[in-house]
A = this chain, B = another copy of it.
Amino acid sequence: MKVNGTAYRSVWRATDKSSVEAIDQTCLPHEFRVVRLKSIEEVARAIQSMVVRGAPLIGATAAYGMALAMHADPSDTQLQQAHDVLLAARPTAVNLRWALDRMRALLAPLPHSARSDTAWFEAETICEEDIAINRAIGKHGSLLIRELWEKKSSTVNILTHCNAGWLATVDYGTALAPIYLAFDGGVPIHVWVDETRPRNQGAALTAWELGQHGVEHHVVVDSAGGHLMQRGLVDLVLVGTDRTTARGDVCNKVGTYLKALAANDNGIPFYVALPGPTLDAKSADGLRDIPIEIRDGGEVAKLRGRTDAGEIITVAVVPQTSPCFNPAFDVTPARLVTGFITERGICAAGVDGLRGLYPELWR
């Protein structure tokens, strides 16, 4: 997607061919900054500190991390260590394991001399596949939005939580891809952007993305969605996912479950954009099977913002004597999900729908 007119991806191999570059998402929306990652340690730190975030982007960046590792040292020890260090960076997103397992399985049987080139090639392949998946999700989802428009004959109001836009992927996004494609196709759209505390990915990233693309939107606090739905101001809720189980339980940014409850209570369709690599067919019960990352309480207590003078600073918003608890995700049970928008089409939430689209994962 374009940033001030220039096409960017969220992560890419640097022109020096021996490092990786990424948009530093901790600086947005105030500063657009590119960081260079030169080692697996730097990649792991970028994932852990959310310089890069979003399930698909974490997977792609980790794949590049494996390439960096093989570039530096193509040994078996390094291969295993890179896999383990990167896997430990964040526990919830299934794409991380998916990408690392895929890289290791491909590289392990190869002679050491072939590992670096193959790793770079495969990381690029994962990126290209991610883009293709997101474009397909965008195409299927945009038809859904167009149908809502045709039924309603006025602006379609979509609520989204966190950032499942192009910054959460290599390009296009998952939940935002249908919005971009429908918008580009002439459908009038307005987006309610949940600010998404504590890291404010909605206010910082989704609002910035939509603004860059010219899509009309308003930022709201995470608590406002229920009110908006009660008042008929939401036609569709559209979110991403960090891991979805075989039966359709959706693990996503904390607070997604509350929006799903409100959508259900108000008869509003609640769709999840689900790329294949985010489907974890080995798990079933989301509450039982998915580890929920508990992040540092400091993310709740402090936040970064821009002063009137343009300086970016960190301020505390909680008394110093009050501890904070910071679960990063929650699980939305399949019963609250209307359907999944995947690269292979749209299906109802539940094992039948998912198995119908991804039969190979059930074999």
* Segment at the interface with B among A9-17, A70-78, A168-176, A211-219: A211-219
Asked if residues A220 and B326 are in contact (CB atoms below 8 Å), the reply is yes
**Choice from B29, B197, B315 contacting A222 with Cβ under 8 Å:** B197
* Segment at the interface with B among A120-128, A177-185, A267-275, A316-324: A316-324
Is A302 interfacial (CB-CB < 8 Å)? yes
Is A57 interfacial (CB-CB < 8 Å)? no
Please give, as numbers and ranges, the residues of chain B lying within 8 Å of A315 by CB-CB distance.
303-307, 313, 315
Question: Once bound together, how far apart are the Cα atoms of A322 and B190, in whole Å?
Answer: 12
Question: Once bound together, how far apart are the Cα atoms of A259 and B261, in whole Å?
Answer: 10
Please give, as numbers and ranges, the residues of chain B lying within 8 Å of A220 by CB-CB distance.
300, 324-327
Please give, as numbers and ranges, the residues of chain B lying within 8 Å of A230 by CB-CB distance.
257, 287, 330-331
Is A195 interfacial (CB-CB < 8 Å)? yes
Is A262 interfacial (CB-CB < 8 Å)? yes
Asked if residues B321 and A218 are in contact (CB atoms below 8 Å), the reply is no
A317-B195, A324-B218, A324-B220 as given contacts; A329 in contact with B227, CB under 8 Å: yes
A contacts with B, residue count (CB < 8 A) = 67
Asked if residues A217 and B262 are in contact (CB atoms below 8 Å), the reply is no
Question: Once bound together, how far apart are the Cα atoms of A257 and B230, in whole Å?
Answer: 10
Is A85 interfacial (CB-CB < 8 Å)? no
Is A357 interfacial (CB-CB < 8 Å)? no
When C-beta atoms are compared, the residue in chain B nearest to A324 turns out to be B219
A207-B322, A261-B226, A330-B227 as given contacts; A221 in contact with B255, CB under 8 Å: yes
When C-beta atoms are compared, the residue in chain B nearest to A325 turns out to be B218
Is A208 interfacial (CB-CB < 8 Å)? yes
Please give, as numbers and ranges, the residues of chain B lying within 8 Å of A30 by CB-CB distance.
316
Is A200 interfacial (CB-CB < 8 Å)? yes
Question: Once bound together, how far apart are the Cα atoms of A363 and B80, in whole Å?
Answer: 78
Please give, as numbers and ranges, the residues of chain B lying within 8 Å of A113 by CB-CB distance.
none
When C-beta atoms are compared, the residue in chain B nearest to A193 turns out to be B322
CB of A356 to closest CB in B, whole Å: 28
Please give, as numbers and ranges, the residues of chain B lying within 8 Å of A304 by CB-CB distance.
315, 317
- The CB with the most chain B CB atoms within 10 A, among A219, A228, A308, A329, is that of A219
Asked if residues B314 and A307 are in contact (CB atoms below 8 Å), the reply is yes
Question: Once bound together, how far apart are the Cα atoms of A224 and B257, in whole Å?
Answer: 9
Is A265 interfacial (CB-CB < 8 Å)? yes
Question: Once bound together, how far apart are the Cα atoms of A262 and B261, in whole Å?
Answer: 7
